Amino acid sequence: MKLYFAPGACSLAPHIVANELGIKIDLEQVDIREKKTKSGGDYWAINPRGQVPTLELDNGERLTEVPALLQYLSDQKPAVGLAPAAGTMEHYRMLEWLNFVTAELHKTFGPMFRPTTPEEFKKLTLELIGRALRMAR
């Protein structure tokens, strides 16, 4: 398998999960601004959405979106117990959290990495994220 990633992006999550599960994956860095792989490939041809991560399976199929990749990887070694068993309420709660992080929390982090974002905004953003996580418990 090959994981297309960008440093500092959410593509770190499947890399961590693969490592935790002992799944060997090849890594290919992507310049997400230029849409080029480190080896010079056109990333648009790999993922028409142009976003990382993309997981290329050994049979050539590709998966995108962090929750799908995390679920796929954990399904490869279910005995490890990284994800709750499919069909259980715990499994669906895990899916709730993965989608909440993807849809709601993730979008708030972009400005945190821009040098032009005022420090006051960054501080407020972190406070709001903390509040949302406390409310979700």
Q: Pick from 80, 103, 122: which residue ends a domain?
A: 80
Verify that 70 and 128 share a domain, yes or no.
Answer: no
Verify that 9 and 41 share a domain, yes or no.
Answer: yes
Domain that holds residue 56: 2-80
Say which amino acid occupies 29. Answer: Q
Handedness of CA 53, 55, 60, 61 (dihedral sign): negative
pTM above 0.85, yes or no: no
pLDDT of residue 24: 96
Verify that 31 and 63 share a domain, yes or no.
Answer: yes
Q: What is the CATH number of the domain that holds 58?
A: 3.40.30.10
Write out the two tokens for 71.
């679920």
User: Which pLDDT tens digit goes with each residue over 63-102?
Assistant: 999 999 999 999 999 999 999 999 999 999 999 989 888 8
Verify that 95 and 122 share a domain, yes or no.
Answer: yes
Task: Evaluate whether 137 touches 130 at the Cβ level (below 8 Å).
Answer: no
User: Which pLDDT tens digit goes with each residue over 14-55?
Assistant: 999 999 999 999 999 999 899 999 999 999 999 999 999 999
Verify that 71 and 108 share a domain, yes or no.
Answer: no
